Amino acid sequence: MITTELVERVDDDDRVIGLVGRGEAIRRRWLHRVATVVCRDTRGRILVHRRPADADRFPNGVNFMLGGASEPGETYEEAAARELTEELGVRAHPRFVLKFTCAGVISPYWLGLHEAVVTGPVAPDPDEIAWYDWLTEPQLAEVAEDEAFVPDAREAYHRWAAPRRGGPAPAGPTG
């Protein structure tokens, strides 16, 4: 039996309009919520991963965030913690960093970006993560400009990294 993944359709101010299937939200380019986590190890390095070649979205794409669509009724933080457990096998309390409307290659969405420090071993879900490594921020800056880096992740990276480099976050809707 095929089940439809439900998401909350939201407006330009991130207020819930109603429940819709995620596929329909993507097809109709309706805003919905996506929660992501940037993971650091105890040395401050950032987890970067490559998606499997057979992934539905962004096959072989490289990313510095883990995450996915928020389930109905979940806060961004709850969704980020759930996704971290599902994709990396880690339990943590992600800290909210920023939120913005991501143009999205597939469809636009509100993206809530969080950070978490991972102190123990990881157990990546092979359906989500084909390869991973821990990179320094300068190494990540290089990788973020590579053509294999997921375009949506690149947009998020520039917003996330701007304050670290002494500049303002790029203009655009934020929450």
Side-chain-side CA neighbours of 151 within 13 Å: the count stands at: 9
Structure tokens at 82: 């759930």
Q: What is the largest CA-CA distance in the chain?
A: 51
pLDDT (mean) for 141-162: 96
Answer whether residue 171 shows pLDDT above 70: no
pLDDT (mean) for 118-144: 96
Q: Which tens digit of pLDDT belongs to each residue from 90-127?
A: 999 999 999 999 999 999 999 999 999 999 999 999 99
**Which among 158, 50, 28 has a CA at the least distance from the CA of 106?**
28
Task: Name the helix (H) or strand (E) containing 151.
Answer: helix 151-161
pTM as predicted = 0.90
